Amino acid sequence: MIDACSLESRPLMSINDALDRIEAAIHPVSGAEKLALKNALGRVLAEPVYSPVNIPHDRNAAMDGYAFASRDVVEGQAFTLNLAGTSWAGRPFQGRMQPGQCVRIFTGAVVPEQDDSVVMQEHVQVRDQAIHFPADTRALQNIRKVGEDVKQGDVLCVHPKKLTAVDLGLLASAGIDEVAVKRRLKIAYFSTGDELSSVGKPLESGKIYDSNRMLLGGLLEDPCYSVADLGVVPDNRQLLEDRFIEASKNYDVIITTGGASVGEADYVKEILQRCGEVNFWKIAIKPGKPLAFGKIGSCHFFGLPGNPVAVVVTCQQIVVPALRRLSGAPSFKALRFSATCTTALRKSAGRREYQRGILSQDENGEFWVASAGRQGSNILSSMSQSNCYIILPEACNDVQAGDKVTVEPFSLLI
Ligand code: AMP
Ligand code: MG
């Protein structure tokens, strides 16, 4: 499609085509390591995990009450049983039950072998050792069967899977204390630009503080990644080339920001071409058009734009799905849905736009979204105040207040 705004002479690649090309170019890493279960949160399983045990391991009570054998009672008639003892959670009843007896039992406690029924304590009357069960007592209830959650040999967690807190709990319930996970990705990032100054120093005239490395450090926070901040590299062909080559030998992925456009000092794509290969450069999105993707040796390379908002958009929409694939995790789709836009939005046909919005839900469950304000790719303040993208398709023009738009929340909390 043609980018009407920038008078681009050649049609730009759509983001979907770019994502397809990335998927074809990136294959999951093969290395794995063993980890203690408690250190495996967020890591990608390298193999399926089977249960060595039944869960539950024993027949146990689903509530606090009294356990009895249904053969001792006549359905539809009240009955009385003598208390033989107690089965506590963790301390089973040790005796042998005789006909006409029941046991006091607590949730999770082992049900004595002879018993097949548990009745809630609220349903019975207790007189010393005699327990009276009413006529509407139902037998064969409230017992959790051996293996009713997971059977021995069943798959507990399929692979590939990025382990959640629930997965860790499930694996622990089967007594598993170690898992094989994919190795961590080695990722390096650096900023390019003569104008950049690191935080912590006074700002000289003509300089700006480097926000991109701070952004990338946060956006790439993930247990699957081992991330290195390689600092700032000036707009110097030789220095850039040396840093690219050096980093490509030590990392799986290099991410740079700045210098990816068409300015006099934008060398990133040219140098990537010289020391590696460019898979594509420039895509039909806004912000984030001048993005270069390629490879140096076996190291994947993402040259992101310099403007901070474009860095966030391209990192979230393009780099993170690519890293996820490389890490071996299953692919995912960001949650997107329709909301009514309460403000007018400026848009020209050509590129897919990721405008920043403020999403809310009213008491009827309806979603409403307003523009977060100025939409320049350098305006990080409005992005900081926003909580969602308003995704406007390539062909879309201006949006009027009251139109339906697609939103993608930044988090599940709005
Ligand atoms: P460039 O693509 O290098 O021309 O950069 C585009 C714009 O982003 C310029 O205004 C740069 O000053 C700005 N920029 C580049 N890198 C950074 C950075 N690390 N932090 C903040 N702004 C940046
Ligand atoms: Mg620059």
Q: Does ligand 1 come within 6 angstroms of the Cβ of 308? A: yes
* Ligand 2 midpoint to CA 196 (Å): 9
Q: What share of the chain is helix, strand, coil (3-state, %, to 5)?
A: 20, 35, 45
* Ligand 2 midpoint to CA 319 (Å): 20
| Ligand 1, atom nearest to 260 Cα | 2
Taking Cα atoms as reference points, which of 185, 296, 189 lies closest to residue 249? 296
Cα 141 to Cα 145, 211, 261: the distances in Å are 11, 62, 70
Please tell me the distance from the alpha carbon of residue 371 to that of residue 345, in angstroms, as a whole number. 7
Taking Cα atoms as reference points, which of 245, 310, 293, 251 lies closest to residue 24? 293
Backbone angles phi, psi at 195, to 5 degrees: -85, 0
Please give the share of the chain, as a percent, with pLDDT higher than 90: 94
The token pair that represents 218 in the structure block: 């946060």
> What pLDDT score does 67 carry?
98
Please tell me the distance from the alpha carbon of residue 117 to that of residue 63, in angstroms, as a whole number. 11
The token pair that represents 186 in the structure block: 């080695």
> What pLDDT score does 95 carry?
93
Mean pLDDT, the chain, rounded, equals 96
Taking Cα atoms as reference points, which of 89, 86, 83, 121 lies closest to residue 102? 83
Mapped onto helix, strand or coil, the DSSP state of residue 138 is: coil
Please tell me the distance from the alpha carbon of residue 136 to that of residue 327, in angstroms, as a whole number. 58
> What pLDDT score does 193 carry?
97
Nearest CA to ligand 1 atom 11: 306
CB atoms within 10 A of CB 152: 14
> Averaged over 196-223, what is the pLDDT?
96
Rounded to 5°, the CA angle 8-12-17 comes to 175
> What pLDDT score does 8 carry?
59
Cα 333 to Cα 161, 162, 252, 337, 388: the distances in Å are 15, 14, 24, 12, 15
| Ligand 1, atom nearest to 261 Cα | 2
Strand partners, 300: 253, 295
Q: Please write the tens of the pLDDT for every residue from 294-332.
A: 999 999 999 999 999 999 999 999 999 999 999 999 999
Q: Please write the tens of the pLDDT for every residue from 247-301.
A: 999 999 999 999 998 888 899 999 999 999 999 999 999 999 999 999 999 999 9
Q: Does ligand 1 come within 6 angstroms of the Cβ of 377? A: no
pLDDT class of 33 with cuts at 50, 70, 90: very high
Q: Does ligand 1 come within 6 angstroms of the Cβ of 208? A: yes
Q: Please write the tens of the pLDDT for every residue from 139-150.
A: 999 999 999 999
The token pair that represents 167 in the structure block: 């997965």
Nearest CA to ligand 1 atom 22: 307
> Averaged over 142-164, what is the pLDDT?
96
Strand partners, 352: 285
| Ligand 1, atom nearest to 307 Cα | 8
pLDDT class of 9 with cuts at 50, 70, 90: low
Nearest CA to ligand 1 atom 10: 307
Q: Does ligand 1 come within 6 angstroms of the Cβ of 314? A: no
- DSSP character at residue 318: I
Please tell me the distance from the alpha carbon of residue 114 to that of residue 87, in angstroms, as a whole number. 13
Q: Find out whether 292 and 281 touch, Cβ atoms under 8 Å.
A: yes
Q: Does ligand 1 come within 6 angstroms of the Cβ of 287? A: no
Q: Find out whether 40 and 314 touch, Cβ atoms under 8 Å.
A: no
Residue 19 burial by CB count (10 A; 0-12/13-18/19+): exposed, middle or buried? middle
Pocket test for ligand 1, best of 236, 257, 302 (most atoms within 8 A of CB): 257
Please tell me the distance from the alpha carbon of residue 399 to that of residue 72, in angstroms, as a whole number. 74
Residue 32 burial by CB count (10 A; 0-12/13-18/19+): exposed, middle or buried? middle
Mapped onto helix, strand or coil, the DSSP state of residue 91 is: strand
The token pair that represents 156 in the structure block: 């507990």
Q: Does ligand 1 come within 6 angstroms of the Cβ of 321? A: no
> Averaged over 167-173, what is the pLDDT?
98
Q: Please write the tens of the pLDDT for every residue from 44-53.
A: 999 999 999 9
Q: Please write the tens of the pLDDT for every residue from 71-126.
A: 998 989 999 999 999 999 999 999 999 999 999 999 999 999 999 999 999 999 99
> What pLDDT score does 50 carry?
98
Please tell me the distance from the alpha carbon of residue 261 to that of residue 144, in angstroms, as a whole number. 64
Taking Cα atoms as reference points, which of 388, 287, 397 lies closest to residue 344? 397
| Ligand 1, atom nearest to 257 Cα | 16
